[in-house]
Amino acid sequence: MSLPPLVEPAAELTVDEVRRYSRHLIIPDVGMAGQKRLKNAKVLCVGAGGLGSPALLYLAAAGVGTLGVIDFDVVDESNLQRQVIHGQSDVGRPKAESAAASVREINPLIDVVVHNEVLTTENVMDIFARYDLIVDGTDNFATRYMVNDAAVLLGKPYVWGSIYRFDGQASVFWAEHGPCYRCLYPEPPPPGMVPSCAEGGVLGVLCASIGSIQVNEAIKLLTGIGEPLVGRLMIYDALEMTYRSVKVRKDPECVLCGKNPTVTELLEDYEAFCGAVSEEAQEAVSGSTITAAELKSWQDAGENIYVIDVREPNEYEIVSIPGAVLIPKGEFLNGSALERLPQDKKIVLHCKSGVRSAECLAVVKNAGFSDAVHLGGGVLSWIKTVDPSLPTY
């Protein structure tokens, strides 16, 4: 459905702006009026990572007059495979500052607002209130639900995107005209069910595909042209090179935007709402978590232990802890791994960061291996504290 323009047009375009945006101006649907609306728009991009990188670059190039970026992270070398707004010289630099510098290089005629901070329940409402439109480039469920809830409570539209390996999704959530994110996903997935990009990987160029779609939707909303993805979920398969659209209806019983909402303010703890790990895993790791230094001392002392890596084979090929045996998490979840566990050795589980091994530890303990433990921080902790010469990923 067509929607009215989100913002009013600016009074005028300067000569420099006319030159810069001339290819927009000669498009009848955009023209001077549309470009003036872009100039008058205030857009916040949540995250300067995989999706935020192309989104920020193209929002800046398009002439969005005020462009905000919020990110608390710093640039890591593993980011550069897909986060094209950053370069090698930016490694170690705050992402928000690095992104802002690139944006200013793309378009010095716009205003860039840097929010070098964590988006929390304490600041999200105040920050969002300053902008017309939110572009969501987050990579975890807790922040996604918080972004959605804040946008709905403030009456703001936002453009959502999601990426994983070769698959991408995008939609526009605007409770005044259609569904919100909770209408599509009323509850977060069970802990550990959906791997993050850090665990499962993502094709670098997929970020550009979905990020550019998000910018396209933002431009349509701001200028009032075309048919935005309100009430539709766009699904992209990069391997099959297919796009398909699925209708998403507004849920009249939605706890946030339905007829009788029960969520009328932000939740106190979105991390707890989404759950990093299951309750069983939390119970299992209590008193059964060791450090990398402890594991190294056990190995050096010749302790009777059996170290198991629960990551995927391709991760194991990148880097592994010496002596660790690979048994992927899936084999623990379906039970087939249990018959391979020695009865006369202490089981030590590890993954990349400690989340997957915690879930596996719950399975192992339930199977009777009461003295089993897992490595807090996973192989990343091993690299950091025991052998920094190993590669991280």
Residues with a known catalytic role: 197, 351
Look at the block and give the residue holding tokens 């190993």: 390
Alpha-carbon gap, residue 277 to 274, rounded angstroms: 9
Place of tokens 């939740």: 267
Tokens 């699904």 belong to which residue? 235
Q: What is the 3-class SS of the chain, one letter each residue?
A: CCCCCCCCCCCCCCHHHHHHCHHHHCCCCCHHHHHHHHHHCEEEEECCCCCHHHHHHHHHHHCCCEEEEECCCECCHHHHHCCCCCCHHHCCCEHHHHHHHHHHHHCCCCEEEEECCCCCCCCHHHHHCCCCEEEECCCCHHHHHHHHHHHHHHCCCEEEEEEEECEEEEEEECCCCCCCHHHHCCCCCCCCCCCCHHHHCECHHHHHHHHHHHHHHHHHHHHCCCCCCECEEEEEECCCCEEEEEECCCCCCCCCCCCCCCCCCCCCCHHHHHCCCCHHHHHHHCCCEECHHHHHHHHHCCCCEEEEECCCHHHHHHCCCCCCEECCHHHHHCCCCHHHCCCCCEEEEECCCCHHHHHHHHHHHHCCCCCCEEECCHHHHHHHHCCCCCCCC
